[in-house]
Amino acid sequence: MGKFKKAVVDYDRFLERHPRYTPRHWRRGIAYYYTQQYVEGQKQFEGYQTFDSTDVENAVWRYLCMARKFDSEKARGELLKIGDDRRVPMRQIYELFAGNLKPDNVLTAARAGAPIPKVLNRQLFYAHLYLGLFYETERKMDLARKHMFAAEEKRIGHFMWDVARVHADLFRRDSDEAQKNSR
């Protein structure tokens, strides 16, 4: 719903009652990111690493927090090491953020092997979501918007689709505000 400050409060309340879930609460890390609490987000994703060391998304969200707090170069240099995330195109997304692949490699991997439509949709969703976030950290805003809007069109039944939808809404809001200010 885009109410990230309220989400952080709710997640914190839950974790006060159930502290054993603290390391694995990646959703709180995303809420921290959107409330510009980048250090807290970074720490949340570092904690998640102790729960699941094969999740590329965890490493990427930590990178995003660090890129906002510091810069992309520092985030890339301290990218978490990830095990074998078998989801397509997660390995390519990781290598993109590590600086070892180009954005086209991510899209090529997402389309490879003629997956059935539902699988292709999911793979393209994740490719576009993380390409949008990547381009945003690189300050290539036209490409960031293009990919985030493409991710939003690839609806999947998962929390991450809501993240893409809200991020796309933020882009639309920023565009509307820029138009108002230019009048």
Q: What is the pLDDT of residue 27?
A: 97
| Residue 124, SS3 per DSSP | helix
Query: Per the structure block, which two tokens stand in for 183?
Result: 């009048």
* Helix-helix angle 159-181:26-34, to 10 degrees: 0
pLDDT in tens, 68-92: 999 999 999 999 999 999 999 999 9
Do 89 and 123 touch, CB atoms closer than 8 A? yes
Q: Taking residues 31-50, what's their average pLDDT?
A: 97
1, pLDDT greater than 90: no
pLDDT in tens, 124-162: 999 999 999 999 999 999 999 999 999 999 999 999 999
Phi and psi dihedrals of 133, rounded to 5?
Answer: -65, -40
Q: What is the pLDDT of residue 180?
A: 63
Write the single-letter amino acid at 170: L
